Amino acid sequence: MDQTEIYLKELLIDLKENPAVVFTGAGVSTNSGIPDFRGTEGFYKTHHEEELAVNALFKNPDKFYTAFQKRFTSVFHAKPNKTHEILADLETLGYIKGIITQNVDRLHQKGGSKHVIEFHGNIFFYDLIKLNRRNNSYRFLKEDVPYTEIANNDIINYKIDDQTFYKPQVVLFGEGISSWSESVELAKTSDLHIIMGTSYQVYPFNMVSYENPQAKVYVINNEPIEYNGRCKQIIGDSSDLLIKLIKMLKSDN
């Protein structure tokens, strides 16, 4: 039995004793055809994160949405992969309490997961805002507009005039996290955390698990991450590893 199988077996034992809270990043969606931000074909190889900042939207919404469409058009029709489906199955079986995700693609929900906190929002709903350019403040004119109402062939018709346009319900660079307290509350409900498909570098997402210092942490990722504490790192493709885990679970039963 190699180290991967040893850790998966230990994870399975721990899951049976203590249902986990799972933290996910872009790596769990790459098997659905969505490139991550920092991979070899990632957005940040040719673009800068400031292009998706809230100030970029306010300053030049045309330029912002050019970058936004390039990054996210592939997401609208993406389908869940085995990672999403198995995580949903594990939740149904009582081994997972909930998921806190960086992803804005809603693939966890499409895969069947019920308790999902979208730490960075999602790209499927928009708010119509009126911008005051003197101080970059804005007021809401209409909220929770589905992208299907303002898109044509996945091209978002975002602009009404120079001060009135649709703002995606994504947490853009420069904005605060509204789901912080909810995420910390969930993280504290379980002393077993699984971190999946993320470099675990983006602040403040990478701080949530630390809010429960008692938690035992497993990492499932294509490469090791930096984690400030004890953890067991299981290196490999998340779908392949979860398939192995679910087979172990079935054989035990």
The string of pLDDT tens digits covering residues 111-161 is: 999 999 999 999 999 999 999 988 888 999 999 999 999 999 889 999 999
Percent of the chain with pLDDT over 90: 79
Q: Which two tokens stand for residue 82?
A: 């085995």
Instruction: Say how many C-beta atoms besides its own lie within 10 A of residue 213's C-beta.
Output: 8
How many residues appear in the chain?
253
Say what the pTM is. 0.93
User: Which tokens sit at 163?
Assistant: 């001060």
- Given the residues 84, 108, 120, 193, the one annotated as active site: 120
115 is catalytic: no
Cα(249)–Cα(253) distance, integer angstroms: 6
Given a cut of 50, whether residue 44 has pLDDT beyond it is: no
Confidence of residue 51 (pLDDT cuts 50, 70, 90): confident
- Mean pLDDT for all residues in the chain: 92
Query: 27 near 18, Cβ under 8 Å?
Result: no
Q: Which CATH superfamily is domain 1-34+83-120+176-253 in?
A: TPP-binding domain (3.40.50.1220)
